[in-house]
Each structure stands twice: as C-alpha cells, then as structure tokens.
C-alpha cells in the first residue's frame, strides 16, 4: 500500500509545519483512508558528515586494493595521539574498499553504534591490518538506491558543501539524506484507486482538514507551457480484436520523444529522497522520472529506448504461442487474452515489447548507452490489466493503479512532466511532434435527487452544501430544479449512481454525524426447515464424538490419485481455478473427503493421531455447464444475464463427510482410549438418517476410497444417499493414516429431498421392560448384512424395537466362504411385559425366515 512522505504531500496541500505521521493518519482516517503502519527510519545512531583528510592505497595479498583513510568527523574525532590508531591530527581511521573519492571529499560516515537497514550494526573492527573505527557509506548501504560500487560523495570541496547547504563536519546527516522522518502507510480500498498518488491523498487531506489544495493535474497549475499533441509523433494503433465485455483494451495512448539525454545523468537528490521515502529505490534518471510522476499524479508510465522500437506501436491481444521476456528476466508464455504492446519489427504489430500496464519487455528497455527515449502514458482497461497481472502472477506498481482505475485525462500532462524532468536533469530536448490516440468516451451525467441523502442516511443537508461537496470531490454539477445533473470526476470510475454520491457525502460530512438509531427488524420466520435439520444432524454427530472442522476447499489432482479414483470417474471432473490461491491446489473439490483426508493427514503428521473429524459443507459438480458472459462489474446485470449466470453456475450440493482413525480419542486419566472401526462409520450415517426420522439400509459396495470388502452403500427409501466404511489400505498409506481408518459421506440435499414428504415415525414410549436377545447367523460371505437385517425386521414384527449388527466373524468354526453375523435384538411390548415364550417365538421366526431366504444357519 502507498507510503505518504509528508514533505511531498506538502507540495500539493497546505499542512502544518509540525505535522506528524500520527496526526496525518488521524486526519486521513476521517475520510476513510485507514492507517496501515507508521514506518520508522531504517537507520539510527551516529551517522554524520565526514571529510576525508588522508587516503592511503594499500594492496593486499589477495589482490584487493583497499584505502586506509583518516576522516574528520568533528566532535567524534580522536584527539591527536589518542584513539585506536593514534595520529598527530584529530580524525578517525576507517578502511574503505571503494575508489570513487579522493582527499578533501565530503562523505557519509556511520560511527560505531549506528544501525543500518537490515539491522546491520556498526562497530569498530580490525581488518586488513588496521582498526576501522566506522564505515564510509554507499547509497545501497543506507537504503537510498542500488549503487554499491562507490560511496556517497556529498561534496568535493568546501565551496560546494556550503553551496548545497550540507551540514557541518561531524553533524547528523540523516535529515539531509531524508532518512530521519517517519512515513505513513495507508490502506486504499479498491474503489479509491486515485489515492495511490500524492495528488489523490492531498485532495483527501484537504477534504478532512479544509486545507488549501492545489491540483497538480490541472493545466492551470502546470509549471510550464503545456504542449498539446499534434499527432505527428511516434504513431500508436489499437487493434483489439477480442475486447473483454466489448471494451477495447486501450482508449488513450500518448507518446512523446526526448532526444540527447545524458545516459550518465542522475536524478536530483530531492527526487531520490522522495522516491526513497515512498518506498522506491532510485535507479536511473529515466526510471526515476517515470516512477516519480506515477507516484505524484497516479499515471503509470513506461520509457523505451527509441533506437530499439519500430514505429508504429500496436495495442492488441496476444497470439497463442507468443512469448515475451519481461524486464524481470522471465520468459513468459502469453495467453490470447493478454493485452500487449507490440512494435512493428518485421511487420506492423508483429513483435511483443510489453505487457500493457504491467511490465515492459527487455528487448526495448533503456540501457547504459541510451540517449533517445520514447515515453508512453496510456489508459488501459482495468479488467484486462487485473486479469493479466494475476494470470502471470506479476502485480506491479502500474497494474495496481490501472486495475483500480486511472484518470484518463492526465496522460498527456504526465508524459510532458516526465519529458521535462529528462530535459532539466539529463540535458535532452523534447520533440515538437507527439502523438495522442484518444477514444475515451464522454462521461454521462447522472440525475441525483438531493432528497436521497436524507432517505439513505438521515442527514438533513442544505442543497448548497450537497452541491459543494460533490464539486469538492471533482464532480461537475448542474442544478436542474428537481434533481441535480452530476458528472463524476474522471478519476472516480466508482461513482455510477445516486447511492455512490450519498456515500461520498456521508463520508465527507462524517459518519459520526449520522444519528445512532437501531432499526426495527422485520418479523422473520427464523431458520428454514432445512437449516434446522442440518443443525440437528451436526449436533447429533458431535454428540457421537465427532469433531466438526472447516477444511480447505481446493485440492490437487494427486488427491484423486491417492483415493484410487478411476480416471473416468465423475469425481475427477472438477472445476479448475484460473487463478488458484495455491498453485499446487487448483481444483474445486467434488467430495468433502477430498479435503478431510488431507486435514486428517495433517493432524496425524503433527502428532495428533486420534482423529474423528467431520465437515458439513458444499462440493462442486461441473456437469452440464453452459458458459455465460461476465457482466460489467459497475452495472446491475439484466434479468437475461442473471438467468444465463444461473445456468452457468455449477451444481453445489451440500454434503456431510467424516474421517476417523482407529483410535478416535486417546486415553486420559480415568478413561480408556476410544477405538472405532468400520461399523462406527456406518453408525454415523445411521445417526444422520435417524435424526431426520428415516431408516437407512446398507449394501456392499466396491467404491474407492473404501476397502472393497468393508465398504457399504447407504440408501433411504431405495435412493442412494451416501457411503461409509473402512478406507482401503493403499489410501491409508497414501495419506499417511493408520491402517483401518474409516470414512463416510452423505449427500444431504438428496437425503432431505428423499425424506421431505415422509411423515416422521414416532414410536410410543412403553412403560414395560425390554427383553434382549442376541442371535448369530452363518450366511454366505458375500451376502450384505443389510439384507439380513431387513429380513430380521420383517420376521420379528411389532415386538422388535431395535436390531443392531455388533459382530462379523470369519475364522475357526466357520465354514469356508461363510461368515457369522451377530445381531443384538431389543424386544418390548407396548401393553404388557413380554414372556419368555413370546421372545422365543420371535427368535424362531427370525431363524426360519433367514434360513428360507438366505440359507442361514444358527451359529452354535
């Protein structure tokens, strides 16, 4: 977020001489610009002006040539004959490896006790046979720039030192270097992009305090004669054949040429100080000039080496397969939606030379021999720039401004301002011819009823006050009687309706002026039936020992592989995010287990082996999607657009899923560990279904990620609603989970729809005791236990209150290809106490029915 140097702000708005960063923050927050941080200086301690008295070059055995200097640091000098290396005149001895200075030069000296950027503490130390009692500093060591080859030479003699107002020898030099002041960093919301400039922040400070504001973006405030374009300069064309939302990628593009610039010229100290205070390192005159104007006016600019570009420039979309090496040295494969600048090397618009509004290309960058410079100041489509910057993961200072909206009227002024800086400090000349491609549409006025202010905020303001505030924020206002005709300022693309004007008025009047009145809430029906049911399910699972979590909803393709999901399975048909938060997890999950398995893995890896977690959330199924055009973000979609968007939305069913390790809860004092197996996964599904008053049946299923022989499909009224069971060994291994971990998942939307019209079966409460029976039946090993359970229920009749499978056994005493299913029965009469004969009769009916239907035999 932008840093606001107070002295730079003062060039556009009147401020008190003693204004602090804290007070500036307090003033700006009144108009909605929040304080992000107040940055203290990165350097501290004794950093003073020094004068080199003697310089002795001393070759070293390693081939390096160092300088042993005696430096006058005023009151910090060692007295003659004293100090760590005594000499016969007051000074300090310092070792320096730079060679761009001589005796008599004024330099920056960090004395022992000083701290430089990076928390680098200065201390006296023995090196190269001497004790270096301080350090002569370079620009990079002080955080003032990238130059590290030589030290900072403040002045070459006494006359120059006096002329530039240099502090005296031994006096603090931090203030002179612009390193002594604190700087405010503000937080700018997406609708306030104009505050990414000193111009915008100065305007807001004026709104807050009433201080006089001088707009640097107006021609009447320009320091020299403005040179309008004659369109005979370096030509630009726009050939956007694939505009987003029908809006061309560029509607303004200004070019201006400066020739004969000294390639070795440096930007002035005051400019370097301001750039440094604003968080940018001074680099070169051409780069510093474009950065300075961008920070000052909010208009991003770019400078080309004129000798390396071929006229005309063309703004177009990239072609599939094109590549561009950007200024950061990265070779980027271009997307056909990327908006690029191309020159005419080989053919018109053939060679990409920059990502428009993001970053230039290396082939046309300014180099150490560049003397002729082409300046670009353009206005690009915010959506195009935002998408491209995210696609290439290249958020630049330029893209931050373009994607929030830049004033399209400021481009010519910004280009001339850069040109004049190059001329003033680089000795060049400005071409009389320039080019300005301008297709910026007129801003349509908006009718605004003053009564809206009171209706929406309760503020009663005079009509004249409303007009004054709108004019203060840059709007043009015409009073048409019943309504005001308001034309928003060109730097405020966020103002598109009456509500926005009311918001601005309330912001500048002060939200504290709005009376605190509690609204009367409309009578509501509370939670919907579906919401109540979902809460009941969540509460029921928690009561069973499951812990609710909220997991990360995006997954990697390897998640599907680790679950052994087949390649053609619909669960692999996941939506891929165009701009994922994590590159390795670009898919939207199609199952809650996709995320829960990763969460369980993380818990086990972090020494939490007892896991029993569940999640109630949505998944995304992209089947049968119909693409729809994205409406413009600044306008309300039409009914047709909304209908198309609804068709384009993927299905997002609500699922509940869970994962547990065999030890669901560790042993604690007085309590043994809680051990779970596949039956507890089935029980979780039973709890979910029974909470809704329905009954669930299970059938064997071979469905990854479950174990082929220990997985069950859950159905209600013949409709499949989910699955449960033990995780396959390979799945457990892939997710680093203990063997025999379990999982379940239920499609709540299908379940609720299935039981929606089903009356809940409420059993009468009997005051008579229950009779308990256990029965073990030997059946074929591939017979689903659920089918046996259904047969038991049918045979037992009305006396059966509950049946529960509590054991499955294969082994000794059980014939080959057979298994034993043990069920616990609870019998109860509603009007009498059951007799032993009645319980025995139920048992006989069960044995007879299961024997006839499945060939079941009573286990001895």
> Binding site for Mg(2+): which residues?
494, 503-504
Element (H, E) at 372: none
Place of tokens 């030509």: 235
Burial 229-251, CB ≥16 within 10 A → b, else e? beeebbebbbebeeebeeebbbb
CA 675/CA 692 separation, integer angstroms: 27
At a CB cut-off of 8 Å and minimum separation 6, what does 267 contact?
Answer: 275, 282, 284, 285, 288, 289, 292, 421, 425
Q: What is the 3-state secondary structure (H, E, C) of 401-444?
A: HHCCCCCCCCHHHHHHHHHHHHHHHHCCEECCCCEEEECCCCCC
Percent of the chain that is helix, strand, coil (3-state, to 5): 30, 25, 45
CA 169/CA 106 separation, integer angstroms: 8
Q: Where are the alpha helices (DSSP H) in 427-555?
A: 451-457, 463-472, 498-509, 529-543
At a CB cut-off of 8 Å and minimum separation 6, what does 210 contact?
Answer: none
CA 488/CA 503 separation, integer angstroms: 14
At a CB cut-off of 8 Å and minimum separation 6, what does 548 contact?
Answer: 538, 541, 542, 613, 614, 615, 616
Cα→Cα distances 763→435, 770, 801, 828, Å: 87, 14, 9, 12
Q: How many CB atoms lie within 10 A of CB 68?
A: 18
End-to-end Cα, the chain, rounded Å: 79
Say if CB 318 and CB 335 are below 8 A apart. yes
Element (H, E) at 581: none
CA 724/CA 754 separation, integer angstroms: 19
Number of residues written out for the chain: 860
CA 353/CA 710 separation, integer angstroms: 61
**Cα 179 off chain centre by:** 31
Say if CB 438 and CB 231 are below 8 A apart. no
Please, which residues bridge with residue 719 across strands? 716
Tokens found for residue 10: 């003062």
- The radius of gyration of the chain's CA atoms, rounded to the nearest angstrom, is 39
Place of tokens 């008579």: 768
Say if CB 475 and CB 443 are below 8 A apart. no
Tokens found for residue 409: 């009227």
Say if CB 313 and CB 235 are below 8 A apart. yes
- Cα angle vertex 238, ends 234, 244, to 5°? 150
Binding residues: 494, 503-504
Tokens found for residue 92: 């300090």
CA 412/CA 219 separation, integer angstroms: 10
Say if CB 322 and CB 332 are below 8 A apart. no
Residue 353, classed as helix, strand or coil, is strand
Sign of torsion over alpha carbons 212, 217, 220, 223: positive
**Rounded (10°) angle between helices 678-691 and 748-755:** 50
Please, which residues bridge with residue 120 across strands? 116
Burial 15-28, CB ≥16 within 10 A → b, else e? beeebebeebbebb
CA 711/CA 679 separation, integer angstroms: 10
CA 740/CA 735 separation, integer angstroms: 12
Helices (runs of H) and strands (runs of E) counted in the chain: 22, 43
């Amino acid at each position: 977020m932008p840093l606001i140097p107070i002295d730079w702000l003062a060039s556009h708005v009147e401020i008190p001489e003693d204004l602090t960063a804290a007070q500036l923050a307090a003033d700006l927050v009144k108009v909605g610009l929040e304080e992000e941080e107040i940055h203290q200086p990165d350097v501290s301690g004794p950093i003073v002006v020094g004068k080199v008295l003697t310089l002795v070059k001393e070759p070293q055995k390693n081939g390096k040539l160092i300088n042993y200097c005696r430096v006058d640091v005023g009151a910090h000098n060692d007295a003659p004959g004293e100090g760590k290396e005594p000499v016969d005149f007051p000074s300090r001895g310092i070792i320096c490896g730079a060679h761009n200075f001589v005796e008599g030069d004024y330099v920056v000296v960090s004395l022992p006790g000083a701290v430089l950027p990076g928390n680098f503490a200065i201390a006296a130390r023995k090196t190269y046979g001497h004790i270096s009692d301080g350090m002569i500093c370079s620009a990079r060591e002080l955080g003032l720039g990238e130059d590290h080859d030589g030290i900072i030479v403040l002045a070459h003699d006494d006359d120059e030192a006096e002329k530039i107002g240099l502090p005296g020898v031994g006096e603090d030099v931090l203030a002179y270097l612009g390193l002594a002041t604190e700087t405010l960093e503000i937080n700018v919301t997406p609708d306030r992009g104009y505050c990414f400039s000193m111009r915008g922040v100065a305007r807001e400070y004026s709104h807050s305090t009433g201080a006089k504001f001088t707009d640097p973006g107006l021609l009447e405030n320009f320091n020299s004669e403005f040179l309008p374009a004659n369109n005979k300069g370096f030509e630009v064309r726009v050939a956007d054949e694939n505009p987003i939302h029908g809006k061309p990628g560029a509607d303004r593009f200004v070019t201006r040429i400066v020739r004969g610039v000294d390639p070795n010229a440096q930007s002035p100290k005051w400019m370097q100080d301001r750039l440094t205070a604003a968080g940018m390192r001074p680099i070169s005159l051409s780069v510093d000039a474009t950065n300075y104007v961008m920070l000052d006016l909010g208009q991003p600019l770019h400078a080309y080496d004129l000798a390396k570009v071929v006229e005309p420039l063309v703004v177009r979309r990239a072609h599939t397969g094109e590549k561009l090496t950007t200024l950061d040295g990265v070779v980027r494969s271009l997307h056909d939606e990327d908006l690029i600048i191309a020159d005419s090397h080989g053919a018109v618009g053939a060679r990409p030379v920059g990502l428009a509004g993001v970053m230039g290309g290396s082939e046309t960058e300014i180099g150490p021999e560049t003397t002729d410079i082409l300046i670009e100041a353009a206005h690009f489509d915010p959506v195009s720039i935002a998408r491209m910057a995210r696609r290439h993961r290249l958020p630049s200072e330029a893209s931050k401004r373009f994607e929030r909206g830049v004033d399209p009227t400021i481009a010519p002024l910004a280009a001339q301002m850069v040109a004049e800086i190059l001329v003033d400090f680089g000795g060049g000349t400005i071409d009389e011819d320039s080019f300005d491609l301008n297709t910026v549409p007129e801003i349509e006025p908006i009718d605004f009823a003053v009564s809206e202010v009171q209706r929406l905020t309760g503020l009663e303001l005079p009509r004249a006050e409303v007009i004054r505030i709108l004019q203060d924020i840059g709007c043009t206002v015409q009073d048409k009687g019943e309504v005001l005709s308001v034309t928003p300022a060109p730097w405020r693309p966020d103002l598109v309706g009456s509500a926005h004007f009311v918001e601005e008025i309330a912001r500048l009047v002060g939200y504290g002026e709005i009376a605190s009145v509690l609204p009367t809430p409309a009578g509501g029906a509370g939670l919907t039936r579906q919401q109540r049911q979902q809460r009941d399910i969540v509460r029921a699972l928690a009561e069973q020992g499951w812990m609710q979590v909220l997991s990360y909803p995006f997954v990697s393709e390897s998640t599907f592989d680790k679950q052994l999901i087949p390649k053609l399975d619909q669960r692999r048909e996941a939506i891929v995010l165009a701009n994922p938060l994590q590159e390795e997890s670009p898919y939207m999950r199609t199952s809650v287990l996709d995320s829960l398995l990763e969460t369980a893995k993380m818990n086990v890896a972090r020494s939490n082996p007892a896991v029993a977690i569940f999640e109630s959330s949505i998944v995304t199924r992209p089947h049968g999607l119909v693409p729809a055009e994205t409406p413009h973000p600044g306008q309300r979609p039409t009914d047709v657009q909304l209908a198309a968007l609804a068709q384009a939305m993927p299905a997002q069913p609500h699922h509940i899923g869970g994962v547990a390790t065999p030890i669901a809860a560790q042993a604690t004092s007085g309590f043994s560990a809680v051990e779970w197996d596949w039956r507890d996964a089935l029980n979780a599904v039973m709890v979910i279904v029974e909470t809704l008053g329905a009954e669930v049946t299970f059938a064997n299923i071979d469905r990854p990620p479950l174990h082929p022989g220990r997985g069950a499909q859950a159905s209600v009224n013949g409709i499949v609603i989910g699955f449960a069971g033990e995780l396959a060994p390979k799945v457990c291994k892939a997710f680093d989970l203990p063997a025999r971990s379990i999982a379940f998942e239920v499609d709540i939307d299908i379940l609720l729809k299935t039981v929606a019209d089903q009356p809940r079966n409420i059993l009468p409460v009997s005051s008579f005791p229950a009779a308990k029976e256990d029965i073990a039946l030997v059946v074929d090993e591939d017979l689903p236990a659920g089918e046996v359970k259904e047969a038991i229920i049918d045979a037992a009749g009305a006396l059966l209150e509950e049946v529960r499978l509590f054991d499955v056994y294969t082994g000794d005493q059980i014939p080959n290809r057979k298994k034993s299913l043990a069920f616990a029965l609870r019998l109860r009469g509603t009007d009498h106490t059951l007799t032993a004969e009645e319980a025995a009769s139920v048992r006989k009916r069960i044995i007879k029915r299961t024997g006839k239907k499945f060939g079941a035999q009573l286990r001895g």
